[in-house]
Amino acid sequence: HDALPISNNHVIEDASEMSIVVNDGREFSAKLVGKDPRKDLALVSFESKEHFPLAILGDSSSVKVGDWAIAVGNPLGLVSSVTMGIVSAVGRTGGPAGNINDFIQTDSAINQGNSGGALVNIRGEVVGINTWIASNTGGSVGLGFAIPINNAKKAIDDFISTGSIRYGWLGVSLLEADKDILNDIGVEGKKGAFVSQVFLGSPAD
């Protein structure tokens, strides 16, 4: 049987070999299905003669501030560590290395080694993938961030079907629409972005 664990790209990006270790200590050789640095997601696979229980993916769009949040992972190499807290915010931006996801922020303790692990709700449904922390010390200060699982669902499908994430594109270059530009084109008082270029043959064209 094939099993397909999801993780962060930064966990596996430099790996020449990968293995999956399950809770009873057995080890399985793993191979890469696909990875994407922009979304910091990766999918690997391994084969086993037995079925492993599957994590149930929840709906991260239903996550609200104040919800319980439980983080699972291997922080500092301590296997299957669990921490619990609440959701501080949803839709946070500004992740490391230009990550294009928005994030669920939680005070569930997330440390190095939690990356790629599950953030689950009180029903045990996976609502996020623990990804990064904001900290001056490198340890948890209650500012942990997880990629919403809904952001990963299409990525998982893309990895399985093509081995990479397929991005849409519009085919324009945008500039901030400042007051001078708005006045020059006669639309003062409006808000939006100014299309400075349209690429020939693009969807926008």
Q: Could you list the active site residues?
A: 10, 40, 115
**CB-CB contact of 153 with 147 (8 Å):** no
Alpha-carbon separation of residue 33 from 9, 25, 37, 147, 165 (angstroms): 11, 23, 14, 19, 11
Helices then strands (H, E): number in the chain? Answer: 3, 13
What is the rounded distance in angstroms from the CA atom of residue 133 to the CA atom of residue 104?
A: 11
The type of residue at 5 is: P
Q: Please give the Cα distance from 42 to 32 (Å, whole number).
A: 8
- If you search the block for the tokens 């085919």, which residue do you land on? 171
Calculate the alpha carbon distances from 197 to 77, 79, 174, 205 in Å. 50, 51, 7, 10
